[in-house]
Amino acid sequence: MSGKSTKIRNENTVWHEPTIYRNNRESLNEHRSVIMWFTGLSGAGKSTLAHALEDYLHNKGIRTFVLDGDNIRHGLCKDLGFSDADRTENIRRIGEVSKILIDAGVLTMTAFISPFRKDRRLVRELVADGDFIEIYCKASLETCENRDVKGLYKKARAGQIQEFTGISSPYEEPERPELIIDTANNTVETCVDQVVRYLETNKYI
C-alpha cells in the first residue's frame, strides 16, 4: 500500500497525518463544538439541566452528547471507585473523552459533581481557550439535602455511603466559572434559557 506522509514521535509508534480536522467537521455540521462542564453538588440539577439543554440544542440541529454517570461509570471508568485518587482519574478520562468529542465536532456536555478545583482546571488546560465552559449549578447543601429525592443524603448522613460530596468529602466551588446557574430557585426552562443566551452571546451557536 503506497503510504501517505508519516512522522515518528516515539520509539514504537508511527503516526499518519489525517486530512480531516475539527474545523472540517464543524464546517460540515455548520456549528461549533465546545465542552460545557456542569459542576455542582449531588442533586443540584446538573444532569437534568444538561439533558434539557441537549433536547433544546438537538432540535436546533446541533450535534450534542451528554457524558454522565450512566455512560461513564458503567463503561470507560468502571474500574474506578470513589476515592480522591479515583475521582481525579475519573475526571481526567472524562476530560480526554470530551476533548475527543469536540474534535469530532460534537457539542459536549458533562454532568459530574467534579468537586475538586485542580481536576476541573486540568480539563480546562487540556483544550484551547474558549473550548471549556465551566457551568456551576449552584444550590446550597441545605437545598440539595432537603430535596434528597432518592435518599442519598440521608444514607450519607447515616454513614451508609462513604465519601459523599458535601457530607464526608469536600466540594470546592468554582472561583471563576463562565456561568453560575441558580438551580435552587429557577425552573429547568429558565436555566436552559440562561445557558442558551450565553452560547448565543459568545457565538457558539
What's the closest the beta carbon of residue 121 comes to a copy of itself, in angstroms?
Answer: 17
- Kindly tell me which residue out of 121, 124, 155, 157 binds a copy of itself, with binding defined by CB under 8 A: 155
Nearest residue (CB) to a copy of itself, 124 versus 186: 186
The yes or no reply on residue 124 touching a copy of itself (CB under 8 A) is no
What's the closest the beta carbon of residue 194 comes to a copy of itself, in angstroms?
Answer: 12
Question: What percent helix, strand, coil does the chain show, rounded to 5?
Answer: 40, 20, 40
- 160 Cβ neighbours under 8 A, 6+ residues apart: none
Q: Rounded to an integer, what distance in angstroms lies between the CA atom of residue 106 and that of residue 80?
A: 26
The yes or no reply on residue 118 touching a copy of itself (CB under 8 A) is no
Region near a copy of itself per CB under 8 A, out of 95-103, 114-122, 170-178, 197-205: 95-103
Please indicate whether residue 114 is annotated as part of the active site.
Answer: yes
Nearest residue (CB) to a copy of itself, 117 versus 150: 150
- Kindly tell me which residue out of 80, 122, 141, 161 binds a copy of itself, with binding defined by CB under 8 A: 161
Site for a copy of itself in 61-90 (CB under 8 A): 61, 63-71, 73, 75-76, 82
The yes or no reply on residue 47 touching a copy of itself (CB under 8 A) is yes
- Kindly tell me which residue out of 6, 85, 125, 158 binds a copy of itself, with binding defined by CB under 8 A: 6
> How many residues line the site for a copy of itself (CB under 8 A)?
74
Active-site pick, 33, 47, 98, 114: 114
Q: Which residues are catalytic?
A: 114
